Structure 1
Amino acid sequence: SDGTRRSDGTRRSDGTRSGDGEREYPFHLYLYADYTNDSENRWETATYPNLITSAVTAAGGQDYGDYYQKEAWAAELEALLPIPGRIRLASGIQWEKHTSFDSELLQDWSLFGSHDPRRPNPRIDDGRLTSLTLRLGNTPEGRAGARPSGFGSQRAFEVRLEHSLSSTLAPEPHQPEPFSPPFQRPETLTFTKLDGEIRWSMPTFYQRRFFPNALHLTARAGITFGDLPLQRFDAIDGSLFQYSPFGVLKTRRHLPYEGDRYWLIAAEHDLQSILFERLKIRPLVDQGTGIILFATAGQSISKRRFLDYQPITSDGVHLEAGFSINRIAGIFRADVAFRMDQPGFFIGVSVPRYF
Structure 2
Amino acid sequence: MSHRDALSFFRLAAFATALVLVGPVPMAQGQDTTEKTLRGRVVDAETGEPLPQANLRIADAYQGTITNVDGRYTLELDSLPVTVVVRYVGYESTRRRITTETDPQQTFRLTPSTVEMEEVVVTGTGNPGETIMRRVIENKQEWWPELRSYSVEAYNRFTVASDTTIAAVAESQTTAFWDAGRGTREVVRSQRGTANLQNLTDSALPAASAVLNLYGDNVSVAGNRLVGVTHPDALDYYDFTLDTTRAIDGRQAFLIQVEPGNRLSSTFQGTVTVLDSTYALLEARLRPTTSLSTSRVLKGVDITFEQQFSNFGGPYWLPVDFRARRDLDVQVSALISFSDVSIRQVSRLSDYRINVPVPDSLYSDTTDQAVTVPDSLALAASSAGGELDSLRDTGPFVPYSETERAAYRRIDSTDTVQDAFDPGGLVGWLQDLGVGGEDDEADTDTTNGSDGQGSADDTFVSFEGGLPDLRFNRVEGGHVGLRLDVGIGPLEVTGRGGYNTGPSGPTRWSYGGGATAPVAENTELAFSYHYGIDPRYRARSRIAPVWARLSNSLWTLAGEPDYFDYFGNERLRLSVRQQVSTPDLDLTLQFRNERHFSVAKTTDYSVFARTITQPPNPSVEEGRLRSVAFKATLGDDGLLGVTPINRVQATVEHSFPDLAASDFDFTRIEAVANAHIETFLQRRFRPNTLSLRLDAGVSLGTPPLQRFGVAEASPLPYTPFGALRTLDDRPYQGEHHVAFFWEHNFRTVPFELIGWQALVDQDIGLIVHGGHGRTWIGDDAQQRLRRRGVFLRTTDGFHHELGLSVNGLLYDSLR
**Fold agreement, TM-score > 0.5:** yes
Q: Match for 1:152: what amino acid?
A: T
Q: Percent identity at matched positions?
A: 29
Q: Structure 1 residue 332 and structure 2 residue 812: aligned?
A: yes
Q: Aligned residue for 1:35?
A: 529
Displacement after TM superposition at 1:226 (Å): 0.7
> Which of 73, 79, 88 is the aligned partner of 2:586?
88
Q: Match for 1:98: what amino acid?
A: H
DSSP-derived class of the 1:158 partner: strand
Displacement after TM superposition at 1:267 (Å): 0.8
Q: Structure 1 residue 66 and structure 2 residue 565: aligned?
A: yes
Q: Aligned residue for 2:336?
A: none
Q: State the alpha-carbon separation in 1 of the partners of residues 594 and 802 from structure 2.
A: 41
Displacement after TM superposition at 1:107 (Å): 2.3
Displacement after TM superposition at 1:116 (Å): 0.8
Q: State the alpha-carbon separation in 2 of the partners of residues 167 and 113 from structure 1.
A: 51
When the two structures are aligned, how many residues end up with a matched partner?
A: 287
Q: Aligned residue for 1:311?
A: 792
Q: State the alpha-carbon separation in 1 of the partners of residues 571 and 808 from structure 2.
A: 43
Q: State the alpha-carbon separation in 2 of the partners of residues 81 and 206 from structure 1.
A: 34
Higher-Rg member (1/2): 2
Q: Aligned residue for 1:20?
A: 365
8 Å Cα contact 2:583/2:634 also seen in 1: no
How much is the aligned-residue C-alpha RMSD, in angstroms?
2.5
Q: Aligned residue for 2:540?
A: 46
Displacement after TM superposition at 1:260 (Å): 1.2
More helix by share: 2
Q: State the alpha-carbon separation in 2 of the partners of residues 110 and 328 from structure 1.
A: 27
DSSP-derived class of the 2:648 partner: strand
8 Å Cα contact 1:37/1:72 also seen in 2: yes
Inter-CA distance 121–240: structure 2 relative to 1 (3 Å threshold) = same
Inter-CA distance 147–317: structure 2 relative to 1 (3 Å threshold) = farther
> Which of 574, 577, 581 is the aligned partner of 1:75?
574
DSSP-derived class of the 2:553 partner: helix
Q: Aligned residue for 1:97?
A: 595
Q: Match for 1:100: what amino acid?
A: S
Q: State the alpha-carbon separation in 1 of the partners of residues 685 and 619 from structure 2.
A: 52
> Which of 730, 739, 756 is the aligned partner of 1:264?
739
Displacement after TM superposition at 1:156 (Å): 2.9
Q: Structure 1 residue 166 and structure 2 residue 660: aligned?
A: no
Displacement after TM superposition at 1:21 (Å): 8.4
TM-score by length of 1: 0.75
Q: State the alpha-carbon separation in 2 of the partners of residues 67 and 288 from structure 1.
A: 39
Q: Structure 1 residue 108 and structure 2 residue 604: aligned?
A: yes
Q: State the alpha-carbon separation in 2 of the partners of residues 39 and 272 from structure 1.
A: 40
Q: Aligned residue for 2:629?
A: 133
Displacement after TM superposition at 1:155 (Å): 2.2
Q: Structure 1 residue 210 and structure 2 residue 210: aligned?
A: no
Q: State the alpha-carbon separation in 2 of the partners of residues 75 and 38 from structure 1.
A: 18
Displacement after TM superposition at 1:135 (Å): 0.2
Q: State the alpha-carbon separation in 1 of the partners of residues 648 and 735 from structure 2.
A: 20
Q: Deviations over 1:265-318 (max 9, x none)?
A: 111111122222221222222323222111111111111122221321111111
Q: State the alpha-carbon separation in 2 of the partners of residues 322 and 79 from structure 1.
A: 41
Is there any run of 5+ residues in structure 1 with no aligned partner, and where?
1-18, 169-187, 334-348, 351-355
8 Å Cα contact 1:219/1:263 also seen in 2: yes
DSSP-derived class of the 2:758 partner: helix
Q: Aligned residue for 1:276?
A: 751
> Which of 768, 777, 786 is the aligned partner of 1:302?
777
Q: Match for 1:121: what amino acid?
A: N
Q: Deviations over 1:193-248 (max 9, x none)?
A: 00021222121111112221111111111001111100111221111133311111
Displacement after TM superposition at 1:106 (Å): 1.8
> Which of 701, 720, 724 is the aligned partner of 1:249?
724
Is there any run of 5+ residues in structure 2 with no aligned partner, and where?
1-363, 369-519, 543-547
Inter-CA distance 115–243: structure 2 relative to 1 (3 Å threshold) = farther
Displacement after TM superposition at 1:328 (Å): 3.5
Displacement after TM superposition at 1:94 (Å): 0.7
Q: Which has the higher contact order (CA 8 A, sep 6+)?
A: 1
Q: Deviations over 1:128-187 (max 9, x none)?
A: 1110000001589xxxx7762x2332223311110003389xxxxxxxxxxxxxxxxxxx
Q: Match for 2:806: what amino acid?
A: I
Inter-CA distance 70–55: structure 2 relative to 1 (3 Å threshold) = same
Inter-CA distance 146–196: structure 2 relative to 1 (3 Å threshold) = farther
Q: State the alpha-carbon separation in 2 of the partners of residues 111 and 244 from structure 1.
A: 23
Of the structure 1 ranges 30-39 and 285-294, higher mean CA displacement relative to structure 2 is found in: 285-294
Of the structure 1 ranges 213-222 and 26-35, higher mean CA displacement relative to structure 2 is found in: 26-35
Q: State the alpha-carbon separation in 1 of the partners of residues 667 and 739 from structure 2.
A: 20
Q: State the alpha-carbon separation in 2 of the partners of residues 154 and 115 from structure 1.
A: 42
Q: Aligned residue for 2:647?
A: 156
8 Å Cα contact 2:625/2:664 also seen in 1: no
Q: Aligned residue for 2:804?
A: 323
Displacement after TM superposition at 1:60 (Å): 2.0
Q: Structure 1 residue 289 and structure 2 residue 764: aligned?
A: yes
Q: Aligned residue for 1:344?
A: none
Inter-CA distance 139–114: structure 2 relative to 1 (3 Å threshold) = farther
Q: State the alpha-carbon separation in 2 of the partners of residues 82 and 278 from structure 1.
A: 43
Q: State the alpha-carbon separation in 1 of the partners of residues 528 and 763 from structure 2.
A: 45
Q: State the alpha-carbon separation in 1 of the partners of residues 577 and 796 from structure 2.
A: 38
DSSP-derived class of the 1:76 partner: strand
Q: State the alpha-carbon separation in 2 of the partners of residues 167 and 282 from structure 1.
A: 67
8 Å Cα contact 2:562/2:614 also seen in 1: yes
Q: Match for 2:647: what amino acid?
A: A
